[in-house]
């Protein structure tokens, strides 16, 4: 079983979708129970990824490899590291929660709904497991169709407009991304003489900087739309607002992570020089997204759109931490992806509960709900504090690591990120105050039922994870160490390690002097470098703006020693 664990996890939801096709349409309860059992089984099958993960091993774990399309060098190649293992565990957990939260809300075309939900689960899992770039792209595209139907059929409001907008945005980004994949594919053949989509082999290529820039932009377009980064974010509020509750939960908790996963798995390690070069561009877009998303969230009157714009701000923070290119920032960015999935997924569940009872998302329609729904108010408070990063809850440690890692590179970037955190606390606490406190003056609000047993079950694991990561994040950080070390070794090998258990990197430490149009860091060391010596020239494979200074010998703080005076020449005859 362990030899094919990833295949079992991957195809369990798809097998469940096939099983649902055999259940008569009229037996809706049987359909719901079958979907719930399949989703729960998928989560249980994924638990060995936590308990049997080897911290000391290098390379892919639980790997499976078989011929797929040998004529073009494509393989059925699955494997995980600590980062993808955590995302798979989050995906299977959210998948089970999505089935449970749909129990009462979906009453039409129940069979088709759960089939679409399980197929979507397979696409998400496959993208996180694929080590073959073409296989990754296949699962990336598989996700589009079921999510399109979930929004377009079971959504509300302008659901067809939102579904088409989501589909077109993602499809255009996917086509451009495919061009970048093909450019990597053919360049690999020109260098090695073999056609391959193997991510491990592509990460070993030495790609000319001019080509790296174009490939990076192609991949960036596809991944940035999925994150989504400003200004590619406009599809997200519409899709969130009009999607059913389970669709919004999966979209926020899992699908947005596909973009950040693509940057970490492909862009940073395969295109390190271009990644360094485009740091100012990515950082600028991330900073604008942080502030813009928070300000727009403050102006929202729709409960769901407020949470949707909060995702734009939070994912901007994740991107800023990742592209600081420091181990601390990268660790915080990866951990914050898990945290965002937990807290924002729970917030969309909260919106779905009140919408099922009142069929309105207007914030002004609510007030004083804590009197009628005390358990609901308590859950809402915990997840609100989790979202704004209160100490002892999961959001705090991720934001702390991101700010620390970004401050090393550029203090102003960290300052703007801190402003986004303050604004995030403002709009979330204001939302809680307007809906939970005040006078319970509407009869329809006073008659709203509190959380039932099934709804409490959906929130329980998310609350437990929020508290666990907030109090004791070490097990999660340890699982991210291998990914952080591997990525920084490619994109910023001189950066000092920032996580326990990682040996000190040989070489200079990163010091910010980021000026000019490209990312222009200076690498310096004053401890291990020789006291004197000329400055080495820039590495040929690096971009023109990337200058490496190997020692502090020429700096004013440590002047080079003066050479000893030469002895005068002797006269003939020894006199």
- As a whole number of angstroms, the distance between CA 188 and CA 184 comes to 6
> What Å distances lie between residue 296 and 239, 290, 308, 313, CA to CA?
16, 10, 10, 10
389 and 363: one domain?
Answer: yes
The reply to whether 41 falls in a domain is no
* Among candidate residues 493, 527, 545, the one where a domain is terminated: 493
- How many distinct structural domains can be found in the chain? 2
* Helices (runs of H) and strands (runs of E) counted in the chain: 25, 4
489 and 514: one domain?
Answer: no
pLDDT of residue 423: 93
The reply to whether 424 falls in a domain is yes
The residues near 10 (Cβ < 8 Å, ≥ 6 apart) are: 78, 122, 125, 126, 129
* Continuous H helices in 205-301: 209-226, 235-242, 245-250, 257-262, 268-270, 272-277, 279-298
- Do residues 570 and 545 make contact, with C-beta atoms less than 8 angstroms apart? no
- Give me the mean pLDDT over the 377-392 stretch: 93
559 and 444: one domain?
Answer: no
Q: How do residues 387-435 score in pLDDT, each as one tens digit? A: 998 999 998 999 999 999 999 988 999 999 999 999 999 999 999 999 9
pLDDT of residue 545: 35
409 and 486: one domain?
Answer: yes
* Among candidate residues 443, 460, 493, the one where a domain is terminated: 493
* Among candidate residues 449, 465, 493, the one where a domain is terminated: 493
The reply to whether 97 falls in a domain is no
The residues near 378 (Cβ < 8 Å, ≥ 6 apart) are: none
Q: pLDDT-derived band of residue 525, with 50, 70 and 90 as boundaries?
A: very low
The answer, yes or no, to whether residue 496 has pLDDT greater than 80, is no
- Do residues 531 and 426 make contact, with C-beta atoms less than 8 angstroms apart? no
Strand partners, 130: 78
pLDDT of residue 365: 87
481 and 540: one domain?
Answer: no
Q: pLDDT-derived band of residue 574, with 50, 70 and 90 as boundaries?
A: very low
The reply to whether 39 falls in a domain is no
Window from 395-404, 443-452, 505-514 with minimum mean pLDDT: 505-514
Q: pLDDT-derived band of residue 156, with 50, 70 and 90 as boundaries?
A: confident
What's the N-to-C CA distance of the chain in angstroms? Answer: 92
The answer, yes or no, to whether residue 542 has pLDDT greater than 50, is no
486 and 522: one domain?
Answer: no
Strand partners, 78: 64, 130
Q: Two tokens at 239?
A: 């899709």
Give 386 or 541, the one with higher predicted confidence: 386
Question: Which letter does DSSP use for residue 63 in this model?
Answer: E
- Give me the mean pLDDT over the 123-133 stretch: 94
- Give me the mean pLDDT over the 109-136 stretch: 94
419 and 311: one domain?
Answer: yes
The answer, yes or no, to whether residue 205 has pLDDT greater than 60, is yes
Q: pLDDT-derived band of residue 467, with 50, 70 and 90 as boundaries?
A: very high
Q: How do residues 309-329 score in pLDDT, each as one tens digit? A: 999 999 999 999 999 999 999
- Do residues 342 and 253 make contact, with C-beta atoms less than 8 angstroms apart? yes
- As a whole number of angstroms, the distance between CA 260 and CA 489 comes to 19
pLDDT of residue 186: 93
The reply to whether 207 falls in a domain is no
The answer, yes or no, to whether residue 573 has pLDDT greater than 60, is no
The dihedral region occupied by 258, where left means phi > 0, alpha psi between -120 and 50, and beta the remainder, is: alpha
Q: pLDDT-derived band of residue 192, with 50, 70 and 90 as boundaries?
A: confident
Q: How do residues 13-72 score in pLDDT, each as one tens digit? A: 999 999 999 999 889 899 999 999 999 999 999 999 999 998 888 789 999 999 999 889
480 and 392: one domain?
Answer: yes
436 and 527: one domain?
Answer: no
For residue 456, what are the domain limits? 287-493
Cα 570–chain centre separation: 74
- Give me the mean pLDDT over the 339-364 stretch: 90
397 and 294: one domain?
Answer: yes
The reply to whether 273 falls in a domain is no
Q: pLDDT-derived band of residue 364, with 50, 70 and 90 as boundaries?
A: confident
558 and 485: one domain?
Answer: no
The reply to whether 129 falls in a domain is no
- Give me the mean pLDDT over the 59-86 stretch: 92
- As a whole number of angstroms, the distance between CA 399 and CA 407 comes to 12
Buried b (16+ CB within 10 A) or exposed e, 93-119: bbbbbbbbbbbeebeeebbbbbbbbbb
- Give me the mean pLDDT over the 216-225 stretch: 93
523 and 418: one domain?
Answer: no
The reply to whether 529 falls in a domain is yes
Average pLDDT, the chain: 84
């Amino acid at each position: 079983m362990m030899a094919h664990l990833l295949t079992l996890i991957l195809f369990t939801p798809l097998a469940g979708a096939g099983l649902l096709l055999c259940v008569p349409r009229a037996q809706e309860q049987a359909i719901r129970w079958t979907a719930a059992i399949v989703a729960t089984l998928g989560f249980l099958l994924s638990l060995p990824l936590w308990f049997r993960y080897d911290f000391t091993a290098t390379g892919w774990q639980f790997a499976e490899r078989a011929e797929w399309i040998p004529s073009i060098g494509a393989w059925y190649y699955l494997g995980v590291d600590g980062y993808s293992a955590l995302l798979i565990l989050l995906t299977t957990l959210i998948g089970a929660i999505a089935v449970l939260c749909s129990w009462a809300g979906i009453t039409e075309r129940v069979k088709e709904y759960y089939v679409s939900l399980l197929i979507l689960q397979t696409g998400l899992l496959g993208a996180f497991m694929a080590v073959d770039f073409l296989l990754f792209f296949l699962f990336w595209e598989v996700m589009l169709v079921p999510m399109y139907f979930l929004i377009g059929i079971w959504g509300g409001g302008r659901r067809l407009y939102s579904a088409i907008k989501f589909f077109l945005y993602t499809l255009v980004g996917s086509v451009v991304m495919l061009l970048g994949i093909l450019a990597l594919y053919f360049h690999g053949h020109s260098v090695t003489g073999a056609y391959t989509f193997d991510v491990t082999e592509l990460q070993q290529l030495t790609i000319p900087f001019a080509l790296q820039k174009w490939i990076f932009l192609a991949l960036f377009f596809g991944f940035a739309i999925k994150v989504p980064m400003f200004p590619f974010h406009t599809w997200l509020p519409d899709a969130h607002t009009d999607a059913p509750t389970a669709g919004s939960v999966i979209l926020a908790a899992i699908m947005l992570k596909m973009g950040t996963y693509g940057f970490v798995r492909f862009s940073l390690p395969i295109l390190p020089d271009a990644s360094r070069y485009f740091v100012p561009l990515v950082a600028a877009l991330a900073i604008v997204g942080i502030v813009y998303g928070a300000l727009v969230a403050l102006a929202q009157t729709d409960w769901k759109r407020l949470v949707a714009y909060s995702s734009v701000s939070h994912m901007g923070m994740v991107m800023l931490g990742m592209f600081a290119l420091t181990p601390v920032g990268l660790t915080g960015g990866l951990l914050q992806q898990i945290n965002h999935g937990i807290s924002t997924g729970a917030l969309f569940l909260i919106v779905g509960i009140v919408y099922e009872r009142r069929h309105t998302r207007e914030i002004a329609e609510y007030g004083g709900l804590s009197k009628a729904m005390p358990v609901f108010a308590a859950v809402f408070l915990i997840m609100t504090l989790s979202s704004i990063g209160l100490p002892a809850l999961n959001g705090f440690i991720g934001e702390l690591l991101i700010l620390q890692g970004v401050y090393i590179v550029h203090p102003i970037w960290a300052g703007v990120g801190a402003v986004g955190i303050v604004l995030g606390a403002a709009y979330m606490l204001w939302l809680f105050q307007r809906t939970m406190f005040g006078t319970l003056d509407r009869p329809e609000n006073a008659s709203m039922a509190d959380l039932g047993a099934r709804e409490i079950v959906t929130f329980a694991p998310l609350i437990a994870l929020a508290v666990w990561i907030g109090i004791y994040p070490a097990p999660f950080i340890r699982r991210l160490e291998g990914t952080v070390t591997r990525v920084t070794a490619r994109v910023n090998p001189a950066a000092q390690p920032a996580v326990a258990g990682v040996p000190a990197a040989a070489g200079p430490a990163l010091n910010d002097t980021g000026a000019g149009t490209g990312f222009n860091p200076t690498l310096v060391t004053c401890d291990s470098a020789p006291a004197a010596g000329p400055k080495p020239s820039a590495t040929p494979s690096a971009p023109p703006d990337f200058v490496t200074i190997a020692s502090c010998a020429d700096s004013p703080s440590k002047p080079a020693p003066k050479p000893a005076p030469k002895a005068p020449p002797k006269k003939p005859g020894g006199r």
